[in-house]
Amino acid sequence: MSNLHKSNFHPKYDQLPWHETLIIIPTYNEIDNIERMIKTLFGLYPAVSLLIIEDGSPDGTADVVKKLQVDYENLNIIERKGKLGLGSAYITGFKWGLEREYNFIFEMDCDFSHDPDEVKNLLLAAQSNDLVIGSRYIGGIRIINWPFRRLLLSYVASIYTRLVTGIPVHDTTGGFKCFTRKALSRLNLNHIISKGYIFQLELNYKVWSMGLKVKEVPIVFYERRDGQSKMAGGIIFEALFAVIKLRALAFLGKLNQ
């Protein structure tokens, strides 16, 4: 980890523990975005560390990352064989970050759906919370370029999740978030039952169920502008059944075993 580098932000952001912060970015065929994302993040936050979890992209994504490692000492990559999925990518990254004693660990998309400029707001909130979620729904709906049907399904699914589980989170499947070391250390990372985007719901529910502090910070979510979306059409309906399963495990006392 490098020393804290002063930025042009307000002093409250300059004083944040950037050198203790890791941003995990899973990639698959992100040749259109990866270089710009890496340069943008290090341009904004020179002391942060990045970990790219690369799932064997045939488009040369990994080659771009390895080339940029010459210029950025805090740029790391784990190459995996085959497309192993979003959930397992983050689990791999979490374990890597915990082993290296990072205190704040982010999830973030590579496609600029998540605005890099918002990272500082999540990290600020993480100084007094255990999990900070970049929320598309708190304070109004903040999603750009989604079809109305998809927006409606996602919003209704989040309401359904709150009703079934009781979790006071408006955006239950968002993938822009910051965990503290405390939160991740208490999770059994070898017992995550969900895959894909439902993985986000499971982590939120488990952290909240342990009595840890969860906070939502409003963000604007932009539908990816370059590359191909990886959101499967049936993901919302799959989440409806996953919620019931998680609630049942909590009732039986087996949620985090």
Q: What is the pLDDT along the chain (257 residues), one digit of tens a residue?
A: 333 344 456 788 989 999 999 999 999 999 999 999 999 999 999 999 999 999 999 999 999 999 999 999 999 999 999 889 899 999 999 999 999 999 999 999 999 999 999 999 999 999 999 999 999 999 888 888 788 877 887 788 888 888 888 999 999 889 999 999 999 999 999 988 887 668 898 999 999 999 999 999 999 998 865 444 444 445 666 767 788 888 887 777 777 76
* Residue 19, helix vs strand vs coil: helix
3-state DSSP call for residue 37?
helix
* pLDDT on residue 227: 47
Nearest to 108 by CA among 89, 83, 84, 81: 89
Residue whose tokens read 């979510």: 221
pLDDT at residue 1 in the model: 38
Q: Rounded CA gap, 201 and 239, in Å?
A: 8
Cα 243 from Cα 201, distance rounded (Å)? 8
Instruction: Tell me if residue 198 falls in helix, strand or coil.
Output: helix
Which pLDDT score is estimated for 4? 37
Confidence at residue 254, expressed as pLDDT on a 0 to 100 scale: 76
Report the amino acid identity of residue 23: I
The third-level CATH classification (topology) of the domain covering 11-251 is: Spore Coat Polysaccharide Biosynthesis Protein SpsA; Chain A (3.90.550)
pLDDT for position 10: 74
**pLDDT score, position 203:** 95
Q: What is the pLDDT of residue 9?
A: 67
| Ranges of H-type helices in the chain | 11-14, 34-44, 61-68, 86-99, 119-125, 148-165, 181-186, 198-209, 235-251
* CB neighbourhood size of 3 (10 A): 8
pLDDT recorded at residue 3? 36
Per-residue model confidence (pLDDT) at position 53: 98
pLDDT at 240: 73
